[in-house]
Structure 1
């Protein structure tokens, strides 16, 4: 029984609750709860902390499903860089939850809740339906490794990789020039 969850979780019978299935269920519950916390809290700092918890639980889910490279990228890029920068900006601006916007948020929250419920039903339906096997487990094991990613980046995709590095360099130089003009 090979499903969308990978070989480790899909080998368990539906009535059997074991280590991998229990770990997956706990991590999924943490991801859903922290995702709800992102939209439920009025404080932007608390919402950002819930988003960090969501990113970390998703990274752990990636690790349990055998996609170690995705888990590492999730932790380093999203949790380690983007969210820390986001929290720094929030604390620097000292944002507080305004009371005047609370009435307009109620309708938005209702719409967001309906959309989230519809997406949840869609995900559950897609998870329950049997899926065709897209690739062999050996191919999936090879393409998820850091070695395969490094080999692809430095052989087949070397020019797009270099172009991305030049674009990042131009962005850094531009931000330095903008910062020097203001001083």
Structure 2
């Protein structure tokens, strides 16, 4: 079973599954191109001699280390950051080796807002802030693609969740008044 489907309840569906905006990985890609160019240039500059092979290996090893630290780790971090909106909750999962997560029930959300700078408006990104009832404080989701659309979606899902809960409550009351078990009504 694929992520995030393995985290869902029986009657829960994924409405939207997001990663941070793709521009968060644009700088690592630019760095990759610069590192490949610099390593190639550096290896070509090594003068002829007995140590030429080991110096070139050293240049390539340094470049490979920088690629792992400055390119691969940010790409993996981007890929393993999940923002999932379902019919019942918002799931947040972040991390590569050490992971952290938070599940926010739609019924606990009291306010959803978004903020965009001029640049974020141009690229279609922004910050979504989710305020909940309780002591946890606001949850801030940065670099969200289509942040205004996500904010509107969350508000819509909160209303639908409230309607669904009210219907379930009414069905439960009707079932208990009729003397039949709720599942049979």
Task: Please give the range of the TM-score, normalised by the shorter of the 2 chains.
Answer: under 0.3
Q: Which protein has the bigger strand share?
A: 2
The normalised TM-score by structure 2 is: 0.26
Q: Which protein has the bigger helix share?
A: 1
Structure 1 or 2, whichever has the larger Rg, is: 2
